[in-house]
Amino acid sequence: MGLVEAIAVAAGAAYILLAIRQHRACWVAGGISTALYIAVFIEAGLPLQAALQVLYVALSVYGWFAWRPDGDAAPRPERWPLRAHLLAVAGVALATGASVLLLWRFPLSDAPLADALGTWASVVATWLLARRIVDTWFWWMAVDTGLAALFASQGLTGTAALYLAYALLAVAGLRSWRRALAAPA
pLDDT tens digits, 31-72: 999 999 999 999 988 888 899 899 989 989 988 888 887 655
What is the pLDDT at residue 118? Answer: 94
pLDDT tens digits, 95-147: 999 999 988 888 778 889 999 999 999 999 988 988 889 999 999 999 999 99
Say if 129 falls within a structural domain: yes
Say if 77 falls within a structural domain: no
Say if 34 falls within a structural domain: yes
Say if 29 falls within a structural domain: yes
Say if 133 falls within a structural domain: yes
Nearest to 27 by CA among 16, 36, 38, 37: 16
Q: How far is CA 8 from the centre of its chain?
A: 14
Coil, helix or strand at residue 78: strand
Coil, helix or strand at residue 133: strand
81: left (phi over 0), alpha (psi -120 to 50) or beta: beta
Say if 84 falls within a structural domain: no
Say if 147 falls within a structural domain: yes
Say if 83 falls within a structural domain: no
Q: Quote the domain boundaries for residue 18.
A: 3-68+93-182
- As a whole number of Å, the CA-based R_g of the chain is 16
Structural domains counted in the chain? 1
Q: What is the longest distance spanned by two Cα atoms in the chain?
A: 54
Evaluate if residue 8 carries a pLDDT over 70.
Answer: yes
